[in-house]
């Protein structure tokens, strides 16, 4: 069984930085975007580290790779 300590992974740490930067950036956007752009940016930025963390608990490297791919896709969305 393969497991990673996701908090020690550089990619997870960097994705948390991305989430912090995204939240800070969104604070400066117009309030009219609260339920559109801001919500979408915040949700997909949170998805990046969440998928890395979830994938780290999977049993195989292939499953982990799937979650990393989903995480990458979310980063493209940001």
| Distance (Å, whole) CA 78 – CA 76 | 5
Does residue 27 belong to any structural domain of this protein?
no
The verdict on residue 1 lying in a domain is no
Q: How many CB atoms lie within 10 A of CB 63?
A: 14
CA 72 to chain centre: 8
CATH of the domain at 58: 1.20.1440.60
In a domain, 26, yes or no: no
Q: Does residue 68 lie within any of the structural domains?
A: yes
Range of the domain at 69: 10-20+32-77
Does residue 62 fall inside a structural domain? yes
Model confidence, pTM = 0.88
- Number of structural domains (the chain) is 1
Q: What is the pLDDT along the chain (78 residues), one digit of tens a residue?
A: 456 789 999 999 999 999 999 999 999 999 998 889 999 999 999 999 999 999 999 888 999 999 999 999 999 999
């Amino acid at each position: 069984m393969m497991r990673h300590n996701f908090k020690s992974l550089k990619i997870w740490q960097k994705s948390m930085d991305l989430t912090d930067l995204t939240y800070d950036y969104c604070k400066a956007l117009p309030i009219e975007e609260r339920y559109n752009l801001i919500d979408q940016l915040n949700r997909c930025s949170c998805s990046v580290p969440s998928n890395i963390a979830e994938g780290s608990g999977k049993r195989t490297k292939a499953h982990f790779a799937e979650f990393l791919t989903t995480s990458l896709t979310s980063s493209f969305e940001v």
